[in-house]
């Protein structure tokens, strides 16, 4: 499994290409404590872990959320967990099927963990991830996707997991891919959102239902207003950050809806991009995702967007 291949995938999924190609010796992630025994592993904006992850330590075991784009990053996370506790990693929850959240699953499976996800993750992980490599996918890249470790337990609507006396609630909410889970730690008031929330970062909307994603962010604000939110990409946030992300999606939809109809795709981009730039031009990945966000939202509003089907 080539690191180059992984880097290419991470590049497509969250715009991590630049410094990666320069092979800078940056750390995979920074661990941030966000509650007793609850840690966020925050990947820097152009880091080689590809996305955020995290873990929860209970009285008889550990639960991990997501496994990065690179098994070496997953191993680094497992090493960090082992440095903090002798308890085993019992569960890994994949928040969705995208390569940058599941490629390290094998590291945790080999250590004895049960990998869980919403049922569509298991259906899509070996197929839908191929599209990120485009038409010129190499046999090696195809093999990488087709040998990703799948969840070995799935649920439809969510599940409650117990780490001894500590409860973790896995909740299914729609929006980013159609198979998204959020992981809630009620006793610490922490929500791991996966890619339902990107903190001050433009999102990858390739599979998104933006209306559903807005509604799910409204659910975060209603049900967990005081929580710390660990996004799929970006720093740990609070309600105001979730609100800003929700408002970006709403502004995108409004601007695209006003611009489309009489004009082609290039004209919609030309109209909408200058409206977004003054407000969101400083967010991570603006240059990488803004145009695609506009085009994909135009397709979505026109009812012609291709999204994964269960
Ligand atoms: Zn994603």
**What's the gap in Å between 211 CA and the centre of ligand 1?**
16
**What's the gap in Å between 205 CA and the centre of ligand 1?**
8
Distance CA 101, CA 80 (A): 18
Residues whose CB is less than 8 angstroms from the CB of residue 190 and which lie 6 or more positions away in sequence, other chains included: 34, 35, 38, 56, 184, 227, 228, 229, 230
- In a 10 Å sphere around its CB, with 0-12 CB exposed, 13-18 middle and 19+ buried, how is residue 248 labelled? buried
pLDDT at 263: 67
**What's the gap in Å between 165 CA and the centre of ligand 1?**
31
Report DSSP letters for 24-51, one per residue: ----S-EEEEEETTEEEEEPPTT-TT-S
pLDDT at 96: 98
**What's the gap in Å between 222 CA and the centre of ligand 1?**
23
**What's the gap in Å between 60 CA and the centre of ligand 1?**
30
Distance CA 19, CA 34 (A): 28
**What's the gap in Å between 176 CA and the centre of ligand 1?**
7
Distance CA 7, CA 141 (A): 11
**What's the gap in Å between 160 CA and the centre of ligand 1?**
23
Distance CA 167, CA 74 (A): 24
pLDDT at 15: 53
**What's the gap in Å between 79 CA and the centre of ligand 1?**
25
Model pLDDT for residues 100-118, shown as the tens digit of each residue = 999 999 999 999 999 999 9
**What's the gap in Å between 164 CA and the centre of ligand 1?**
30
pLDDT at 19: 44
Residue 171: beta bridge partners?
Answer: 158, 182
Find out whether 93 and 116 touch, Cβ atoms under 8 Å. yes
| Grouped pLDDT means (10 residues each) for the chain, 310 residues | 55 54 72 98 93 98 97 97 98 98 98 98 98 95 97 98 97 98 98 98 98 98 98 98 98 94 82 97 97 96 93
**What's the gap in Å between 98 CA and the centre of ligand 1?**
5
DSSP assignment letter at 132: G
Find out whether 99 and 132 touch, Cβ atoms under 8 Å. yes
Domains annotated for the chain, with CATH where assigned, are 3-250 (3.60.15.10)
**What's the gap in Å between 59 CA and the centre of ligand 1?**
31
Least Cα distance to 199 among 285, 99, 95 occurs for 285
The distance in angstroms from the start CA to the end CA of the chain is 28
265-291 burial: b if 16+ Cβ within 10 Å, else e: eeebbebbbebbeeebeebbbbebbbb
Distance CA 276, CA 295 (A): 13
pLDDT at 45: 85
**What's the gap in Å between 86 CA and the centre of ligand 1?**
31
**What's the gap in Å between 197 CA and the centre of ligand 1?**
10
**What's the gap in Å between 13 CA and the centre of ligand 1?**
7
pLDDT at 2: 53
Distance CA 109, CA 38 (A): 21
**What's the gap in Å between 195 CA and the centre of ligand 1?**
5
């Amino acid at each position: 499994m080539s690191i180059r291949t992984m880097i290419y995938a991470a590049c497509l999924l969250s715009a991590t290409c630049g410094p990666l190609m320069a092979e800078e010796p940056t750390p995979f992630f920074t661990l941030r404590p966000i509650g007793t025994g609850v840690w966020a592993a925050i990947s820097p904006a152009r880091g080689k872990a590809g996305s955020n992850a995290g873990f929860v330590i209970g009285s008889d075991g550990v639960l991990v959320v997501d496994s990065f784009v690179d098994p070496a990053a997953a191993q680094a996370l497992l090493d960090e967990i082992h440095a903090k506790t002798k308890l085993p990693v019992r569960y890994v929850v994949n928040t969705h099927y995208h390569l940058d959240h599941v490629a390290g699953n094998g590291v945790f499976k080999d250590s004895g963990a049960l990998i869980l996800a919403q049922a569509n993750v298991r259906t899509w992980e070996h197929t839908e991830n191929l599209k990120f490599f485009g038409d010129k996918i190499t046999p090696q890249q195809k093999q990488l996707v087709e040998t990703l470790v799948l969840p070995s337990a799935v649920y439809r609507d969510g599940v409650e997991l117990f780490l001894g006396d500590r409860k973790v609630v896995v909740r299914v909410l729609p929006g980013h891919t159609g198979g998204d889970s959020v992981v809630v730690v009620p006793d610490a008031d922490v929500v791991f959102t996966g890619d339902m929330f990107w903190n001050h970062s433009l999102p990858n909307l390739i599979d998104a239902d933006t209306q559903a994603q807005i509604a799910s962010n409204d659910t975060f604000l209603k049900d967990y207003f005081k929580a710390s939110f660990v996004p799929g990409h970006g720093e740990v946030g609070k309600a105001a950050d979730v609100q800003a992300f929700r408002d970006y999606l709403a502004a995108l939809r409004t601007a695209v809806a006003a611009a489309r109809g009489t004009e082609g795709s290039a004209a919609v981009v030309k109209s909408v991009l200058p409206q977004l730039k003054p407000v969101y031009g400083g967010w991570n990945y603006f240059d990488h995702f803004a145009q695609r966000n506009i085009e994909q939202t135009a397709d979505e509003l026109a009812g012609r967007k291709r999204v994964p089907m269960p």
